[in-house]
């Protein structure tokens, strides 16, 4: 796999956070 700049995505939905 080639190097690419890492991307992050903050989860803002409380219900989605609770799923983890």
Partner 1 sequence: MIPENDIPRLLSGCRTKYDKVRGNWVLLAPERAIKLDDIGAAILAETDGVRSLGGILDVLAEKYNAPRDQISGDVVKFLESLRDRRMLEVS
**CA distances for 18 relative to 8, 9, 10, angstroms:** 18, 16, 14
C-alpha–C-alpha distance, residues 14 and 20, integer Å: 10
In the complex, least distance from residue 13 CB atom to partner 1, rounded to whole angstroms: 9
* DSSP helix/strand/coil, 14: helix
In the complex, least distance from residue 4 CB atom to partner 1, rounded to whole angstroms: 6
Interface of this chain with partner 1, residues 1 to 20, rule: CB under 8 A: 1-11, 16-17, 20
Considering CB under 8 A, how many residues would be counted as binding partner 1?
14
Interface with partner 1 (CB under 8 A): 1-11, 16-17, 20
């Amino acid at each position: 796999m080639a190097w690419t700049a890492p991307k992050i995505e903050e989860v803002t939905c409380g219900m989605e956070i609770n799923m983890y």
